[in-house]
């Protein structure tokens, strides 16, 4: 029997309409590229997004055309999300930290019709002159007073504020198919060329609804949310859609992501919730320690993108800030797992509670997970058995843009994440490694993430990477490479001693290198392939 409920499509424009109608005077505060802090609200954002939609269509863009963005977190970037998606175009967020050749490749592959860039990124675009594919205009996200001269070899530069001023705000958002694309983001892949993930209106709205839940970001009309995670990396984890959905105040940090700048903005605006990768929180915590600052209104931070070290959770919680460890991927919108305790965990002692909090979390409703062994069988949910983590759900990619033939899933209907994981009887998943990074020593697994977490819990260690090095006797052995905190001194023996009693003896790396810095991907993850190349030659390393 067919049900008799209204078939109202889930569209991102409806989120903004709702925010403008019921939370019109709720603030959106951005640190601008030009310098000053800018203040607006949801009603004004809606008006400007409608002007922008008209301006984009006037440039000749048609349904499904891509609008590229090279921009920090700001109200203008937010307007672009809604104007492009809402008008039936696709907002293609480009990660400016990728190599210039990759950026040119992505712009060409996405066939971006227009690029919208912060002033900061104009030199980058000038370096790509002549390689911008179908781009017919570059909209500079600034006002007339800050417009730069037209550089040679680039498509015409247009002034964002002038374009908006020239349009009327009476645009009606079209009734689109909820399965049509509204966003595009390329993976920052540690190996291989970046691949495009096309988000739909439906997937973005459902994902945002999941983000707001108490056991996820816990957002409501009284929240003040600051996405530190960039809007060019998986839609800032859905916050640009989730915050307006519930009428939360939004605080956008712009280009300045150091501890001092983040803290200043947080304190001034009463930020209660923030989200970002561990590297950002490491900088923030170090700055807090040096200056004896307090976290103010900050109550909760979501940490993910790479494993959140246990010691980071410990330090934040000691300040009264609860940590939500979460797991996700570009292909999963990104949220799939979030770590909130269950009622039965209330009595856990502090060490056991931290152990639990350091896991990546439980599946959100809407994202299903399986862990398969090499033969394709589900491994037991005992918290110990490892396997390949698979996921499926309405906000998980089914294929990559332009690679529709090679569907993104390995087993029918399931997306292969490329992570190795365990799950316990309560559904808590621990990520052990990327499939290609896992260390197999004498036929047994060693988790590089577990070893890295122990290394960074040493007060003198700033960052640590563990990779497999070939070994004649054991097949592979772990090699630890560490970067020390500025001014700290420590030798390999002292690092090794720190592992004693914290992990099985045969897991302890016999080779430990202390280096100045480690290579990272454009999203701040360790570039393990490069670290192996640099340090993991068998001849240079002893057998245990």
Question: Active-site positions?
Answer: 187, 331, 440, 445
The residue to which tokens 């700048």 are assigned: 261
Query: Closest approach of Cβ 449 to ligand AMP, in Å?
Result: 6
For ligand AMP, the closer of residues 73 and 417 by Cβ is: 417
From 235-243, 312-320, 326-334, 438-446, span contacting ligand AMP (CB under 6 A): 326-334
Note whether 327 binds ligand AMP by CB under 6 A.
Answer: yes
Least distance (Å) between residue 523 CB and ligand AMP = 5
Secondary element (H or E) of residue 181: strand 181-186
- Calculate the CA 468 to chain-centre distance: 26
Please say which residue, 56 or 234, places its beta carbon nearer to ligand AMP.
Answer: 234
Of 230, 253, 304, 309, the residue at the interface with ligand AMP (CB under 6 A) is: 304
Shortest spacing between CB 419 and ligand AMP, in angstroms: 5
Q: Return the number of the residue (188 or 274) whose C-beta is nearest ligand AMP.
A: 188
Q: Report the residue number, 234 or 512, with the smaller CB distance to ligand AMP.
A: 234
Is residue 428 part of the contact set for ligand AMP (CB under 6 A)? no
Inter-CA distances, 400 with 95, 102, 176, 333, 407, Å:
17, 17, 22, 13, 7
Helices 75-86 and 12-22 pack at an angle, to 10 degrees, of 120
Instruction: Print burial letters for 373-386: b (CB count within 10 Å at least 16), e (below 16).
Output: eeeeeebebeeeeb
Which are the contacts of 342, defined by CB distance < 8 A and separation ≥ 6?
426
Which residues, numbered 31-70, are part of the site for ligand AMP (CB under 6 A)?
none
Alpha carbon distance 357, 339 (integer Å): 6
Q: Does 187 bind ligand AMP (CB under 6 A)?
A: yes
Choice between 68 and 230, CB closer to ligand AMP:
230
Nearer residue to ligand AMP within complex by CB, 159 or 307: 307
Closer to ligand AMP by Cβ: residue 367 or 431? 431
418 binds ligand AMP (CB under 6 A): yes
SS3 state of residue 110:
helix
Choose the stretch contacting ligand AMP; rule: CB under 6 A; options: 10-18, 44-52, 266-274, 322-330: 322-330
Angle value at C-alpha 348, between 320 and 276, nearest 5 degrees: 40
Least CB distance from residue 179 to ligand AMP, whole Å? Answer: 22
Q: Which range, of 3-11, 267-275, 323-331, 470-478, touches ligand AMP by CB under 6 A? A: 323-331
Work out the number of other CB atoms within 10 angstroms of the CB of residue 431.
20
Length of the chain: 544
- Tell the smallest beta-carbon distance from residue 417 to ligand AMP (Å): 5
Residue of 15, 307, 321, 467 interacting with ligand AMP (CB under 6 A): 307
How many Å apart are CA 27 and CA 315, to the nearest integer? 30
**Ramachandran region, residue 21 (left: φ > 0; alpha: ψ -120 to 50; beta: rest):** alpha
329 contacts ligand AMP (rule: CB under 6 A): yes
**Strands laid side by side in the 137-140 sheet:** 157-159, 137-140, 112-117, 66-70, 90-93, 181-186, 196-200
Sign of the alpha-carbon torsion through 531, 533, 538, 541: negative
Contact 411, 374 (CB under 8 A): no
CB of 223 to ligand AMP, least distance (A): 22
What minimum distance in Å lies between the beta carbon of 243 and ligand AMP?
20
Q: Minimum CB separation from ligand AMP for residue 482, in Å? A: 19
Closest residue by beta carbon to ligand AMP: 330
Q: How far is the CB of 306 from ligand AMP (least distance, A)?
A: 5
Tokens 């001014």 label which residue?
487
Q: Does 159 help bind ligand AMP (rule: CB under 6 A)?
A: no
- 334/363 with CB nearer ligand AMP: 334
Report the residue number, 42 or 241, with the smaller CB distance to ligand AMP: 241
Residue 187 CB, nearest approach to ligand AMP (Å): 5
Q: What is 444-509 written as a DSSP string?
A: EEE-HHHHHHHHHTSTTEEEEEEEEEEETTTEEEEEEEEEEPTT----HHHHHHHHTTTS-GGGS-
336 contributes a contact to ligand AMP by CB under 6 A: no
The residue range among 240-248, 343-351, 378-386, 415-423 that interacts with ligand AMP, by the rule CB under 6 A, is 415-423
Binding-site residue total for ligand AMP (CB under 6 A)? 21
How is the chain split among helix, strand and coil, in percent rounded to 5?
Answer: 30, 25, 40
Residue 299 is classified by DSSP as -
Burial of 72 (0-12, 13-18, 19+ CB in 10 A): buried
Q: What is the DSSP string of 115-170?
A: EEE-GGGHHHHHTTTT--TT--EEEESS-GGGPPPPPTTSPPEEEHHHHHHTS-S-
Which residue from 68, 305, 309, 393 is in contact with ligand AMP, where contact means CB under 6 A? 305
Stretch that binds ligand AMP, among 61-69, 301-309, 344-352, 394-402 (CB under 6 A): 301-309
Residue 431 in the binding site for ligand AMP (CB under 6 A) = yes
Under rule CB under 6 A, residue 419 binds ligand AMP: yes
Q: How far apart are CA 5 and CA 406, in angstroms?
A: 36
Using CB under 6 A, which residues numbered 523 to 542 contact ligand AMP?
Answer: 523
Binder of ligand AMP out of 188, 200, 441, 447 (CB under 6 A): 188
CA-wise closest residue to 92 among 171, 105, 431, 100: 105
Q: Which residues bind ligand AMP (CB under 6 A)?
A: 187-188, 234, 304-308, 325, 327-330, 334, 360, 417-419, 431, 434, 523
């Amino acid at each position: 029997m067919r049900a008799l409920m209204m078939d109202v499509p889930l569209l991102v424009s409806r989120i903004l309409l709702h925010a403008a109608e019921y939370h019109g005077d709720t603030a959106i505060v951005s640190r601008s590229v030009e310098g000053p802090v800018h203040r607006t609200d949801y009603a004004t954002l809606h008006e400007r997004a409608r002007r922008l939609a008209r301006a984009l269509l006037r440039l000749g863009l048609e349904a499904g055309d891509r609008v590229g963005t090279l921009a920090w977190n700001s109200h203008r970037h937010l307007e672009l999300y809604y104007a492009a998606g809402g008008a039936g175009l696709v907002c293609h967020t480009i990660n400016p930290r990728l190599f210039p050749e990759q950026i040119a490749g992505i712009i060409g592959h996405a066939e971006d019709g227009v690029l919208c860039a912060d002033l900061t990124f104009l030199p980058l675009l000038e370096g790509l002159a002549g390689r911008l594919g179908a781009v017919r205009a570059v909209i500079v996200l600034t006002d007339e007073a800050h417009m730069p001269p037209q550089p040679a070899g680039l498509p015409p530069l247009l002034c964002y504020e002038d374009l908006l001023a020239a349009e009327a705000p009476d645009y009606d958002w079209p009734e689109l198919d909820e399965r049509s694309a509204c966003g595009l983001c390329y993976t920052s892949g540690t190996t291989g060329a970046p691949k495009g993930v096309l988000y739909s209106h439906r997937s973005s709205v459902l994902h945002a609804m999941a983000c707001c839940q108490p056991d996820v970001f816990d957002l409501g009309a009284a929240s003040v949310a600051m996405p530190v995670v960039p809007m060019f990396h998986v839609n800032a984890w859905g916050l640009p859609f989730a915050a307006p959905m519930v009428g939360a105040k939004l605080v956008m940090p712009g280009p300045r992501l150091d501890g001092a700048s983040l803290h200043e903005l947080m304190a001034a605006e009463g930020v209660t919730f923030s989200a970002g990768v561990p590297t950002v929180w490491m900088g923030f915590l170090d700055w807090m320690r040096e200056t004896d600052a307090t976290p103010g209104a900050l109550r909760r931070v979501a940490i993910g993108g790479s494993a959140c070290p246990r010691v980071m959770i410990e330090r934040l919680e000691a300040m009264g800030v609860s940590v939500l460890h979460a797991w996700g991927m570009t292909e999963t919108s990104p949220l799939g797992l979030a770590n909130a305790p269950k009622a039965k965990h209330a009595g856990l002692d502090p060490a056991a509670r931290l152990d639990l909090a350091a896991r990546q979390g439980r599946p959100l409703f809407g994202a299903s997970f399986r862990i398969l062994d090499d033969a394709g069988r589900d491994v037991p949910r005992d918290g110990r058995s490892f396997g390949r983590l698979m996921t499926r759900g309405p906000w998980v990619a089914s294929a990559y843009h332009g690679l529709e033939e090679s569907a993104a899933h390995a087993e029918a209907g399931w997306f292969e994440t490329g992570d190795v994981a365990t799950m316990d009887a309560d559904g808590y998943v621990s990520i052990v490694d990327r499939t290609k990074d896992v260390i197999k020593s004498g036929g047994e697994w060693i988790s590089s993430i577990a070893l890295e977490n122990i290394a960074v819990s040493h007060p003198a260690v700033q960052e640590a990477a563990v990779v497999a090095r070939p070994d004649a006797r054991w097949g592979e052995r772990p090699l630890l490479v560490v970067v020390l905190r500025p001014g700290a001194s420590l030798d390999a023996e002292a690092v090794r001693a720190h592992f004693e009693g914290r992990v099985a003896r045969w897991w302890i790396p016999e080779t430990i290198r202390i280096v100045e810095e480690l290579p990272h991907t454009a999203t701040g993850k360790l570039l393990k392939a490069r670290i192996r190349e640099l340090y993991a030659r068998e001849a240079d390393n002893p057998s245990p």
